[in-house]
Amino acid sequence: LQYAYSSVSFGKLEDVKPWVLLKPELYNKATQKIIGNLGKIGVTSVSFSEFGDNLYSDFSKNGGTYRTKSVDYIEKTLSEAKKSVNGIAVSGGNIYAAVYSDRVYELPANSSGYAIFEYDIPFVQMVLRGYVKYTTPYMKQSADINTAFLKAVESGSDLLFSCVGDDGYKLSETRLSDLFSSEFSMWKDEAVKYYSEIKKISAETENAAIISHECIEKDFYKVSYSNGAAIYINYSGEQK
C-alpha cells in the first residue's frame, strides 16, 4: 500500500485513503481498457501522468519485475496506445516515455545546482525541440517566477501553471497539498502576462529545432534555432 504523508510533521495522513501501484506487466492491458472506454465518449487524447517520472520494481513472490523490465512494459504500452489515440502526453523527463509522446509536461529546466557544475545546458530540450512539445515545471512553485520565465525562454519551453477555482487551503493535508497558493484569481493576471510574452517569442521559433546553446558570459546566453532565429537571455538584470 502507498500512503500520503504530511509535509509538516512527516506523519501518515490517516484521512487520506491509501492506494496501490499497478503491476507493470498489467500496464498495457489496463491502458487498452481505459482507451476503449474513453473512445466511447469521444476522447482521443490521453495523458499518462506517471510514466514520465515514476519507475518502480515489483518484488512480488510470483512474477516480480525489475525496473529495467518495467521500462519495456511502459514502452510497449505507449507504443500500443499511440495506435489508438491522436495524442499522448506524459509528465517528467524520462526519455523512454518522451519519445512516444506528443507533449511532455514538467520537463526539468534546472540541474541540481551543485557547485561542481559551472552552468546548465538544456540538453534534453535541445534534443526534443521541434519534434515534441514540452513545458516547464509549474511556474507558481518557482522561488523566482521571473527567473523561471527566463529559463523557459532559454530552453524553448511552453509555460505551465496549475490553479484551482476554490480556496487552496481546502487541499491542505490531502494528496493535492502541493497545490498551495494556487487560487486562479491570484495567478490570472500574472499568467496572462507571461503567456503573452512567451507567445511573441514562440512566433519566431515555432516548430524550429535548437541547434546551439552558448554561454557568452556569466548569466548571459544565446540560443540559436534551425530557422535562423536567435534568442538572447540575460539573467543579470544589467543592460547588455
HSE-up (13 A, CA, CB side) for residue 15: 6
Bridge partners of 105, per DSSP, are 91
Residue 206: left (phi > 0), alpha (psi -120 to 50), or beta?
beta
Cβ neighbours of 136 (radius 10 Å): 25
pLDDT tops 90 at residue 153? yes
- What pLDDT does 1 receive? 80
Cell, residue 126: 535541445
- What pLDDT does 149 receive? 95
List Cα–Cα distances, 240 to 119, 124, 128, 166, 201, in angstroms: 19, 28, 29, 43, 19
Per-residue model confidence as pLDDT tens digits over 154-212: 999 999 988 888 777 777 777 777 777 778 888 889 899 999 999 999 999 989 999 99
Classify the C-alpha dihedral 99-105-108-109 as positive or negative. positive
Per-residue model confidence as pLDDT tens digits over 82-117: 999 999 999 987 999 999 999 999 999 888 888 888
Q: Return the closest-CA partner of residue 131 out of 112, 161, 165, 156.
A: 156
- What pLDDT does 5 receive? 84
- What pLDDT does 16 receive? 83
Q: Please give the share of the chain, as a percent, with pLDDT higher than 70.
A: 98
Q: Return the closest-CA partner of residue 95 out of 122, 59, 125, 73.
A: 125
